[in-house]
Amino acid sequence: MVTAGAAQAQSCRLQTHTLPLPLVSQHMPEHAYQVRVQVGTPPASANSAAAIQVLEVDTGSTGVVVPLSAAIQHAWDASSKLGYIFYSSNSQYHPGKYVQVPMRLGVSADGKSAVASIDSIEVLAAQCSCGVAPIPKATLPGSVQTLSQAPDNCAAYNDTLALSSGGKQMLKKCTTIPSSFGMMGVGYDRGVDAARNPFLNLVQMQAGSISPGYIIRASGITLGVSEQALQGFSLIALQRAAASAAGGADWQAPNACASFPASGSDYQVCGKLLPDTGITYMMLTPTKQPPAPAKLQQTLTTPAKPASTVSGQTSDTSATTSLVVPEGTPMTLAIGATGHPVFSYGFKVGGATPATPDGVQWRTALNVPPAHINSGRHVLAATDYAYDGACGHAGFRPAPATP
């Protein structure tokens, strides 16, 4: 069922082929979607499985980030484009370089075969894991070094400027990044050039034999979209964003509304929707007006957690305080134009159904719209999710009932 943009769909023809992407993970969306990949070209002396990595599929970001390794060393040496990724969740900063490398997806355990490949894609080769600290107030302006090239060791990053901080922070306690670190961002409307999205740049997509896009279900992932693969989906026509310095114009995210039935209030958060496979909880970023009712907000303190070598975290986290929707609160997520959703489902915060997120957090309210709703990945227990990057649609289809 096409609910919007029928004329657009008629003028845009999809190819007929798609590819199922093998996963190494199970029991999604409770657990993350993980794919075996090979990034770069292994040295001739290495066996076929030497450069294999398992990366998490993250629709909440765009672009691949992996540790510097022998398979991308040659591309590293040829690159002068510095880069970084900063995770606000654990305040870890990972500096490195952007490199152009081949990539294979759905790689077999022995490394000899793969479902899909990419001739060349720009990825971030992360060299180190660093903490960040405020620049001392007595520091003279411009006295904190800004690196113009990547050093050959992690200690050399210490006390240099954190490029993510707007000149307010420096790097501290930089150590070699764990080999298990990595992420595969496949989202859109994230402010990053779609040329960095591995799911949209397969060899077959570049050749025009597969239409760029993907379908994510609780049971797996399909690369490419076709009319047959989109059967049963309600499609939302997406709007093009203005071209930016990051690259060409991207499709904008669909709209959704999160409401609170039985709360005695007609308050709702309506704005851009991000079905984010990278997190298990929901985040609501409302506008300041109208303000969220006090009864829908609760302050929650989360105890400190030990360091995690899997995430690249190098120090214990401190206890955090967050503003959440109280447990037991009924909520509804309605996807599509306000008042005319193509899909909706309800849950009770703290409930046990598969589609219930692991909590609902409030984020700092915005001065101007649009608001933002990050559903987390548990929504995929309620709906299949499609992104048609060729014709500009987001699709939603009720998920099969779990046994």
pLDDT tens-digit series, residues 274-326: 999 999 999 999 999 999 999 999 998 877 766 554 444 444 456 778 899 99
Q: At 379, phi and psi to the nearest 5? A: -60, -25
Tell me, yes or no, whether 343 and 366 share the same domain: yes
Residues 253 and 371 placed together within one structural domain of the fold: yes
184 and 228 both lie in a single domain? no
Q: Are residues 13 and 90 in the same domain?
A: no
Looking at the fold, whether 91 and 129 belong to one and the same domain comes out as yes
Count of the separate structural domains present in the chain: 2
pLDDT digits (tens, 9 = 90+) for 112-163: 999 999 999 999 999 999 999 999 998 988 899 999 999 999 999 999 999 9
Closest Cα to residue 33, out of 274, 278, 353? 278
Chain-centroid distance, C-alpha 333: 20
CATH of the domain at 140: 2.40.70
Provide the pLDDT for residue 390: 97
Same domain as 201, residue 251: no
Q: Are residues 239 and 141 in the same domain?
A: no
Q: How far is Cα 299 from Cα 61, in angstroms, rounded to an integer?
A: 28
Which range of residues forms the domain containing residue 395? 1-18+217-303+310-403
CA triplet 79, 127, 152: central angle to 5 degrees?
70
Could you check whether the bond before residue 95 is cis, i.e. omega within 30 degrees of 0?
Answer: no
* Strand, helix or coil for residue 204: helix
Same domain for 156 and 254, yes or no, is no
126 and 261 share a domain? Answer: no
CB 222 within 8 A of CB 397: no
User: Position 148: which residue type?
Assistant: S
138 CB-near residues (< 8 Å, 6+ apart): none
Q: Are both 245 and 366 inside the same structural domain?
A: yes
Using the predicted structure, report yes or no on whether residue 249 has a pLDDT greater than 90: no
> Which residues are CB-contacts of 373 (< 8 A; sequence separation ≥ 6)?
256, 257, 258, 269, 271, 272, 273, 274, 282, 283, 284, 285, 333
Q: Tell me: pLDDT of 32 over 90.
A: yes
Q: Are strands 298-302 and 320-324 parallel, antiparallel or unpaired?
A: antiparallel
What's the whole-number average pLDDT of the chain? Answer: 91
Same domain, 260 and 196: no
Is residue 72 classed as helix, strand or coil in its secondary structure? helix
Assessment of whether the complete model's pTM goes beyond 0.95: no
Q: Does residue 208 have a pLDDT over 70? A: yes
Q: Report strand pairing: 360-362 vs 211-217.
A: unpaired
DSSP E strand stretches across 239-389: 255-259, 268-274, 282-285, 298-302, 320-324, 330-337, 340-348, 360-362, 371-374, 383-388
For residue 258, which of 219, 235, 285 has the smallest C-alpha distance?
A: 285
**292 & 392 share domain:** yes
11 burial level (CB within 10 Å; 0-12, 13-18, 19+): exposed
Tens digit of pLDDT for each residue in 168-199? 999 999 999 999 999 999 999 998 999 999 99
Mean pLDDT of the 252-271 span: 96
Residue pair 110/188 in contact (Cβ under 8 Å)? The answer is no
Query: Would you put residue 378 in left (φ > 0), alpha (ψ -120 to 50) or beta?
Result: alpha
